[in-house]
């Protein structure tokens, strides 16, 4: 058992280097978290709160908590306070994705992400412009500017030989709390049935940072490609095959295939396959015309499956106006 535990610690240490950006199983339901070009996709203020635990069953495993909002600028002025909030219940159809018109959008994100012996807290603001290509297709470009605070958690580090480990020494003897400027950008092509996006995060690396220490958190540029198409298969039923590709040099690109089933545009379930990592089961619904909910469970199929009971992700969405 002790041998298995050390193997697990070794895997976590290696994974901590490769996973610098938070992972989202429900990327299909909140494209804004993986592409700033998707800000303001819907003509209302979309607020999302999410929490994710990866490899449940162990202490200090990757955890992510976030809150985001995005809205078209011209839609913000039409949001008015209403004490009743129109709290209707029962089936509420998904909002319509409108195309064929120019619009500007803003958004923001706050993400707290822990992985291994590292913690990141990021706050960013986003601007996106949506340009009509045809009546049915829009192309948006979004850019985000933010600040990320990087922290090294010494008590969580797994070190075989602390005395001769130069990397460990650089983190423990120099400043272990550094903030860097984070710039990201993304293109997003969409219609009511199709989407395709390309995004990049941490474009500036650590070129702009705040602090005098020598610890190198080495933020790398991450690229993300997403795509999907909604197909009507029967009355009140749609099927959406989709994919997500992530790449960070020098790590081998990872790919995820997803299929979402939706009933009457309010109740959905989905399954994803993350190559050599996990099979993900998801479900959710529009609770009312103000709230939406989603839950996903990751069944690990990697070497972690021996030691982990899987991963959980909970999403609560608030739709204003």
Q: pTM of the prediction?
A: 0.85
Q: Is 82 helix (H, G, I), strand (E, B) or coil?
A: coil
DSSP single-letter state for residue 63: E
What single string gives the DSSP state of each residue in 200-235? Answer: EE-TTTTSSEE-S------PPPEEEEEEEE-EEEET
Q: Compute the distance between CA of residue 225 and CA of residue 6 in angstroms, rounded to an integer.
A: 35
Specify the pLDDT at position 7: 40
The total number of structural domains in the chain stands at 1
Dihedral sign computed on CA atoms, order 141, 92, 260, 20: positive
For residue 165 the two structure tokens come to: 């480990």
pLDDT tens sequence across 222-269:
999 999 999 999 999 999 999 999 999 888 899 999 999 999 989 999
Indicate the length of the chain as a whole number.
321
In terms of Cβ atoms closer than 10 Å to its own Cβ (0-12, 13-18, 19+), residue 255 is: middle
Identify whether the C-beta of residue 75 lies closer than 8 Å to the C-beta of residue 69: no
Nearest to 29 by CA among 49, 1, 57, 55: 49
Q: Is 77 helix (H, G, I), strand (E, B) or coil?
A: coil
- The DSSP bridge partners found for residue 1 are none
DSSP-derived pairing of the beta strands 291-300 and 103-115: unpaired
Q: Which CATH number belongs to the domain containing residue 10 in this structure?
A: 2.40.160.40
HEC string of 121-170 equals: EEEEEEEEEEEECCCCCEEEEEEEEEEEEEEECHHHCCCCCCCCCHHHHH
What number of other Cβ atoms are within 10 A of residue 40's Cβ?
Answer: 29
Instruction: Report residues of the chain scoring pLDDT below 50.
Output: 1-17, 77-87
Specify the pLDDT at position 92: 80
Q: Compute the distance between CA of residue 171 and CA of residue 154 in angstroms, rounded to an integer.
A: 8
Phi, psi of 48 (to 5 degrees): -130, 135
Specify the pLDDT at position 54: 84
Specify the pLDDT at position 280: 97
Domain holding 81, by residue range, is 2-320
Dihedral sign computed on CA atoms, order 143, 20, 32, 255: positive
Dihedral sign computed on CA atoms, order 218, 170, 215, 33: positive
């Amino acid at each position: 058992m002790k041998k298995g535990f050390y193997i697990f610690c070794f895997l976590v240490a290696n994974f901590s280097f490769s996973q610098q950006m938070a992972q989202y199983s429900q990327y299909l339901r909140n494209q804004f978290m993986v592409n700033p070009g998707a800000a303001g996709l819907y003509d209302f203020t979309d607020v999302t709160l999410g929490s994710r635990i990866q490899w449940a069953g162990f202490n200090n495993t990757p955890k992510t908590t976030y809150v985001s909002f995005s809205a078209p600028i011209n839609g913000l002025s039409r949001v008015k306070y209403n004490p009743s909030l129109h709290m209707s219940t029962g089936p509420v159809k998904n909002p319509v994705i409108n195309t064929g018109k120019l619009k500007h959008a803003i958004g923001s994100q706050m993400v707290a992400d822990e992985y291994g012996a590292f913690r990141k807290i990021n706050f960013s603001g986003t601007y996106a412009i949506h340009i009509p290509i045809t009546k049915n297709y829009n192309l948006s470009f979004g850019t985000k500017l933010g600040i990320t605070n990087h922290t090294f958690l010494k008590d969580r580090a797994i070190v075989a030989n602390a005395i001769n480990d130069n990397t460990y020494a650089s983190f423990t003897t120099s400043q272990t709390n550094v903030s860097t400027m984070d710039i990201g950008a993304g293109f997003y092509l969409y219609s009511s049935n199709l989407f395709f996006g390309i995004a990049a995060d941490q474009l500036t690396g650590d070129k702009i940072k705040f602090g005098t220490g020598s610890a190198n958190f080495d933020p790398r540029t991450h690229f993300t490609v997403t795509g999907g198409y909604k197909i009507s298969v029967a009355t009140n039923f749609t099927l959406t095959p989709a994919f997500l590709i992530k790449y960070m040099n020098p790590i081998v690109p990872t790919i995820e295939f997803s299929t979402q089933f939706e009933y009457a545009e309010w109740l959905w379930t989905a399954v994803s396959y993350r190559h050599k990592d996990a099979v993900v089961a998801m479900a959710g619904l529009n609770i009312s015309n103000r709230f939406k909910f989603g839950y996903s469970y990751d069944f690990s199929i990697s070497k972690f499956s021996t030691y982990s009971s899987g991963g959980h992700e909970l999403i609560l969405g608030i739709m204003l106006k």
